[in-house]
Structure 1
Amino acid sequence: MATDRSGGAGVASPAAIRVVIADDHEVVLRGLSLTIAGEPDMRLLGAATNGTEVIALVAATQPDVVLLDIHMPNTDGIVAAATLRKAHPQLIILMLSSYSDDARIYAALRAGANGYLLKEMSGDALLAAIRAAARGEPQLHPKIAQRLMQRVMPPTDPLAQLSPREREVLRWIAHGFSNKEIAAATNLTEQTVKSYVREILSKLDVV
């Protein structure tokens, strides 16, 4: 189900974020297509219904960002993510799933995904996540970040290894703040916040 749509009134910005999407549910694909294609700073390059299709589509179109469902026929999203990461090191890979269990999240991130989002999020939140990911910011749905935050409290918890500043950054993430907003709230540079996020994910062994 390949397509190529420019955002806005048919003219994409010169710096438009090029996006490919993959999901085996047509209703989801249509919704994502309409959401992304309506943005002047984004360009939808195509849509796939399984992992095999999306691997070929990414190779043909060279997008900046790909949104992957986890459960798809032929090749699932996690295998597709690992294949895409190996073939396209600079590609931003975002998982978009209905599942929020630790096993799938960790598997996706270890496969090379730059973020894990949930389908329950609003269209505006999804667009914001795509833009943030394109800027190099790792993305975790706030619900997932909140669950990780709950593990910080017990002294035997793995998150005890986080520094006070890293815990503070994780708290902001759990409340849905972007890296830019966290930087403003903590008097840090946005680049420093990005470094903290990467360090948090590394210490949690999910990258």
Structure 2
Amino acid sequence: MIRVLLADDQRLVRAGVRMLCSAAKDISVVGEAGNGLEAVRLAERERPDVVMMDLRMPGMDGIAATKRILAMQPAVRVVALTTFDDDDHLYPALAAGACGFLVKDCEPDELTAGIRRAFAGDSPFSPPVMRRLVSRALAKAPALPEVTAREREVLALVGAGLSNGEIASRLYVGVTTVKTHIANLLSKTGCPNRIRLAVLATQAGLVPPNLA
């Protein structure tokens, strides 16, 4: 069971997300916070696997709360869930340690899938946000080093935005094997995270048009 903490100052939003989570057999909401400070306190008490974090909240905002939570519990996966997908919110959230960024008007299935992806170690991003990240970072992406044929396949699918489970299914291998390939790619390329791997795959022309 994936333990989720909801942090949003709007009760209606929290109620909506809770309802979506309650319909999923593998997701359980263990707490709700109306501001950043409350989110930090609940995270310390409830030890959630994933925190769905609004960025604009009274008192302590979501950026500061994300930093505090990850300082105490580095293994927690924080996903920014916000109305605003502009750079003024995106980059500070990523710098604070958020592993993903979803907008509140995303499809219900995208939200629950995002929780599962975060829990599995992936980085869930709304498609428009991912495209902007890739396009802006292309010029700064590192050169592609020597990798194996299988690692190139995995890298291309990471660039296409597929999750570990989707990559495993497409390549007929286990999820653990995919994670190993990604860890090797991070080490070989010097990329700090999955997003930079996606940028590198795009720059290197590894992503087929039908997958992009």
TM-score in terms of structure 1 length: 0.76
Q: CA deviation at 1:193?
A: 5.9
Give the Cα–Cα distance (whole angstroms) in 1 for the partners of residues 156 and 2 of structure 2: 30
Per-residue deviation at 1:178? Answer: 2.2
| Counterpart in the other structure of 1:55 | 40
**Could you tell me which residue of structure 2 aligns to residue 138 of structure 1?**
123
The 5 Å alignment of 1:34-49 reads: 34-49=19-34
Shift, 1:25, TM fit: 1.1
Identity %: 32
Stretch of structure 1 that moved more, 98-107 or 73-82: 98-107
What corresponds to 2:81 in structure 1? 96
Q: Please tell me whether residue 163 in structure 1 is matched to residue 139 in structure 2.
A: no
Look up the equivalent residue of 2:144 and give its one-letter code: S
- Does 1:201 find its partner at 2:195? yes
Shift of 1:132: 1.4
CA-CA distance at 1:138 after TM superposition: 2.1
Q: Is the 8 A contact 1:96 1:116 kept in 2?
A: yes
In structure 2, what is the equivalent of residue 190 of structure 1? 178
Instruction: Quote how far apart the aligned CAs of 1:192 are.
Output: 4.6
Match of 2:10 among 25, 39, 60: 25
Distance in 2, matches of 1:125 and 1:26, equals: 21
User: Does structure 1 retain, via aligned residues, the 8 Å contact 2:8–2:14?
Assistant: yes
Looking at structure 2, the residues matched to 169 and 105 of structure 1 have their Cα atoms a distance apart, in angstroms, of 23
Give how far 1:101 is off. 1.8
Q: Give 3-state SS (helix, strand or coil) of 2:160's partner.
A: helix
User: Which residue is equivalent to 1:87?
Assistant: 72
Look up the match of 1:71: 56
Q: Is the 8 A contact 1:94 1:115 kept in 2?
A: yes
Q: Per the alignment, do residues 139 and 40 of structure 1 end up closer, same or farther by CA in structure 2, a change over 3 Å counting?
A: same
Q: Output the TM-score relative to the length of structure 2.
A: 0.75
Q: What does residue 129 of structure 1 align with?
A: 114
Q: Aligned partner of 1:190: which letter?
A: V
Matched residue type, 2:160: W
* Partner of residue 160, structure 2: 172
Contact 1:67 1:93 in 2 (8 A): yes
**Worse overlay, 131-140 or 69-78:** 131-140
Hey, what does 2:204 align to over in structure 1? none
More helix by share: 2
Aligned residues: 182
Using a 3 Å threshold, how does the CA distance of structure 1 residues 147 and 167 change in structure 2: closer, same or farther?
farther
Q: What letter corresponds to residue 195 of structure 2 in structure 1?
A: L
Q: Which letter maps to 1:48?
A: A
5+ residue gaps, structure 2: 146-151, 187-191, 200-212
Deviates more, 1:163-172 or 1:26-35: 163-172
